[in-house]
Structure 1
């Protein structure tokens, strides 16, 4: 666990997960994707050890919404593909 994680803890989940929260969660997972570095996997966005706080938050939000790992992966892939077209 990274030092910042020890200080700040986990990002809290919303009281109930809305469609907007799902969109934010997919963005968080996409933006805070893993990247191989000499010291191991790091977050592509903030260089924290992967999975970083926002990546974990996105995963937890989508799991709370009842999505499976396969569904989450499909949503992230779709979001990444649509972002390339923009």
Structure 2
């Protein structure tokens, strides 16, 4: 099953996550099919906190990919803020 989830990146004490489409059996930071966005939990000032390619997200959800709980929450918050 395909999953849209966060893959950890960044450096020590500066977490940064990539939104990736991957097989649910792969490790968290393992290989992925596509990177469709990012989440920066420590963004300050003018830095972008969350970004996602909406068209690619819709495509992967359309072909059956499931979003993780955290990704679904972030997408919902982002949609609410944009409206």
Alignment TM-score > 0.5, same fold? no
The structure that is strand-richer by fraction is 2
TM-score, reference length from structure 1: 0.30
The structure that is helix-richer by fraction is 1
